[in-house]
Structure 1
Amino acid sequence: MAVVELTEYQKRSQRRRVRFKLKRWSRQTGKTFDDTLEIADDCHARRTEWVILSRGERQSKKNIEQTAVHCRAYGAAAEVIDGEWESDDKKYKALEINLPNGSRITGLPANPDTARGHSANVYLDEFAFHKDSRKIWAALFPVITRGYRLRISSTPQGKQNKFYELDTAWSKKDDPHYSTDKLDIYDAVAGGLKLMNEEGQPATPEELKEALGDDDAWDQEYLVLYLDEATAFLSHDLIASCEDDSLNPEPLWLPGLLYTANEMHELFLKTKINPPSYEVLDPALINAERLFLGMDIGRKRDLSVIWLTAEQDGLHRTVAVIRLRRVPFFIQRVVLFSLLAHPSVVRGCIDQTGLGLQLAEEAMARFGATKVEGIDFTAAHKELLAVTLKNRMDDRRVLLPAEVAIRNSLHSVRRYNTGTGHFRFDAERTEQTGHADDFWALALATHADSNAGPPAAAAISDQTPDNWKERRTGLLASPGARERMGFGNRLADARQVRR
Structure 2
Amino acid sequence: MMKSPLDLLLPYQRKWVDDESRFKYGLWSRQTGKDFSSAAEIVRDCKLRDKTTWMIAAPSERQSLETLAKCSEWSEAFDLASEGIREERDGPEALLKQGEIKFANGSRVIAVPGRPDTVRGFSANVLMTEFAFFEDPDATWRAILPSITNPLRGGEKKVRLITTPNGQGNKAHDLWTKENSTKHKWSKHKVTIHDAVAAGLPVDPEELRAMLDDPEGWAQEYECEFLDAAGVLLSYELIGSCEAPEATTTQPDAFWAARPQFPLYAGWDFARKKDLSVLWTAQKIGPLLVTKEVLVMRGMSTPKQVELVSHRLKNITRLCLDYTGAGVGAGDLLVEKFGEWNFDKHQFGKVELCTFTDSLKRDIFPSLKVAMEQRGLLVPGTREIREDLHSMYRVVTAAGNVTYRAPHSPNGHADRCTGLALCRRAAGTGGAVGGMQSVKSARPRERRMAA
TM-score of the aligned structures, taking structure 2 as reference length: 0.49
